[in-house]
Structure 1
């Protein structure tokens, strides 16, 4: 019985919406990947199958250095975290520093391993509030060979 109570308590810290966002994003990425090619940025936005998921997505073109990666588009949640529409700006300049610290490892890992990479943890928002995030970074390719973009699915919960 105590185990069930612990599980319920743990679930409260990771809202169902957060788990659903990353699970659905991964499912869509795998669906494209199973068709024999690395997914392309064009495979995801706009997404007629799950328009509500677009709110959580961002696509970034990878830079020469990871901190030079630039948003090519962003939904409502990434824009909220950035404080405005981040399109055309670097991820490292837009996301709160403690969130970028968590995501930068996942962006690098997804690009190198060519596999989706999760990220989660505590961060401080740009307006100095505590929050938790749960994210998934997935590699994308325009030519199905080189990883030149990443798809991010991000959600957060203020504390």
Structure 2
């Protein structure tokens, strides 16, 4: 990941697609923007998404993924950086996937956060494949979505055992 120059970053925050791609500003964190973006994703999930019926939740995920592809593509084009670190909307979608059907309670939310970050950083196959082989907005979004699916699978397996 590469950091965009300050002038470009300011310009991105003035555009709705830049604002979205940067996770409402969380992607501008000078330290660990992916982790900060993942943590920021918990707020809309907690207050707006966690009680949604499954079809509505899936619709939000699908729309968020599509919008994220568009926003990430726009930021990549504007910055001329293939994977700018300020693009963290993919972390939002990955976190929301990890939290899909999560049992109630903050310990499960914390577990989903840790698992998602683990899979996003470790990049097991096919996350690593998507990260290396796919480019543009879709590529930026897909690897984190796959990491979210891994986290979801592990979280659900643990919930079944407990």
Q: Do they fold alike, i.e. is TM over 0.5? A: no
Larger relative CO (CA 8 A, sep 6+): 1 or 2? 2
Considering fraction of residues, name the structure with more strand. Answer: 1
Instruction: Give the structure-1-normalised TM-score.
Output: 0.35
Considering fraction of residues, name the structure with more helix. Answer: 2
